[in-house]
Amino acid sequence: MILSGVNLMTTDKDTIVALATPVGEGAIHLIRLSGYRAKEIINLCFKPANMRKWLDDQNYTLHLGWFYKESKKIDQVMVSRMYGPHSFTGDDVFEINCHGGLLTARRIIEACVHHGARLAEPGEFSKRAFLNGKLDLIQAEAIVDLISAKTELSADLALLQLEGKLSDKINDLRQDILDILAFIEATINFPEDEVDDLSQTELYGMLLRVKDKASEVFKGSKTGKIIREGLATVIAGRPNVGKSSLLNALLKEERAIVTDIPGTTRDEIHEYVKIGEVLLHLIDTAGIRQSEDPVEMIGIERAWKALNMADVILLVLDAEELSSKHLSTEEKNILDEHSAKTIVLINKIDLLPSAENFNYSLPSDVYAIPFSVKEKIGFKELEKEILRRVWEGDIAISDQALLSNMRQIEALEACIHSLEKAIEAAYVHVPFDLISIDVRNALEEISVITGHNVQEDLVENIFSRFCIGK
């Protein structure tokens, strides 16, 4: 792996140590030690029960013994050793399994620090693995995603990325673009070999094929993002139509305050709930209406911003009001601007006569569900519609790894855009040296995804999100 702006191998000689298990009491704690002095520090602190087997110095072995700080015995432990470069970080790694008291773990860490180790920063073990070429940025981000996964689907997706399935796709694309760039530059650098129309046609075909290939990978990005982050689902509507009641019903708990007083919800409420295997990121917003209250106006402004960012909008309408009145200006605006991602819930139908006709003169392209939060009417239909919108026309996860975060998605999108510009140029027989600019840009953009071309500040930003000990 060749990284632009980042040294490939670990340059500092620090040996790092950290607690890898959550803080608190448990059966065991695991402490991770890694670096060029890790073996020396372990030998100063650890006295194995079977010295002969320890001195055999076999890799990937587990040893029982006592841990010391100088001459003071701390705890009976199990020590596993994994020598570099065949370890997670690429450096020597020792993992100390001790009893699960926080005091015991702290004393073991203090012993390691006493002999020259330092406390690891968040994500520093994984960062060293990246810098030592043991994993790329996709795999590094997959570690965080696996730790924070809230559904089986999101965990499965993270595992596929950690295995390198997505990296293989991206590296394959990168190699294709690199081959095209090499073809172009060879043509430029050897002008004695004239480029005829056939060569221009060949270049156009090569660019078109790799762009189609990149678009196929990009196709599943919407699904991947939803699996990873959840479906951003905004609950919107006028005051007192049942928005907060809907939120509470979906959560199966009294999360939002419900009153008959308009404008009770003034700020966004964020919660998560599973629908099937899809995670919904529910956002309950302030009632959208004209208001002179400065505090309520702030809430309404935030509600409009949330609507623009939403994947799905649940627009709640009052059935009684709708049967006798027209849509409000605000409701019309939502349907005009966001009809494709809006599901209309005609709430409180239980308050209408049974013979009521539900033809409310809504726009023909609007999906509407007769609904009652109180009587639990329409919830199954809502669930089916949400799942249909998530999966329809997109790729199911199956055994494929999908793009799943905005950094990856934006980089591939920029790569495709550069390829499209190169295709347009090749179509009208623009000189090769000009086409090469767009192809090189495409190569740089796709290289960012795996970390072949990445700046140090991006690396720091990614690994700062990790927990200590990972």
Q: Are strands 16-19 and 28-34 parallel, antiparallel or unpaired?
A: antiparallel
| Structure confidence by residue, pLDDT tens digits, 97-116 | 999 889 999 999 999 999 99
Closest CA to 209 of 395, 422, 413, 404: 422
Asked whether the beta carbons of 285 and 235 are under 8 A apart, the reply is yes
Closest CA to 154 of 311, 276, 250: 276
Give 82's strand partners.
93
| Structure confidence by residue, pLDDT tens digits, 410-457 | 999 999 999 999 999 999 989 888 999 999 999 999 999 998 877 777
412 and 375 co-located in one domain = no
In a domain, 113, yes or no: yes
Number of domains the chain is built from? 3
Q: What is the pLDDT at residue 283?
A: 86
Asked whether the beta carbons of 316 and 235 are under 8 A apart, the reply is yes
44 and 154 co-located in one domain = no
pTM, two decimal places:
0.77
In a domain, 37, yes or no: yes
Q: Span 320-343, mean pLDDT? A: 80
300 and 363 co-located in one domain = yes
Distance of CA 264 to the CA centre of its chain: 34
241 and 379 co-located in one domain = yes
Look up the domain containing 109 and give its range: 16-135
38 and 119 co-located in one domain = yes
In a domain, 455, yes or no: no
410 and 351 co-located in one domain = no
Asked whether the beta carbons of 55 and 65 are under 8 A apart, the reply is no
More confident residue, 265 or 23: 23
CATH classification of the domain holding 36: 3.30.1360.120
Asked whether the beta carbons of 281 and 304 are under 8 A apart, the reply is no
Backbone torsion region of residue 184, taken as left when φ is above 0, otherwise alpha when ψ lies between -120 and 50, otherwise beta:
alpha
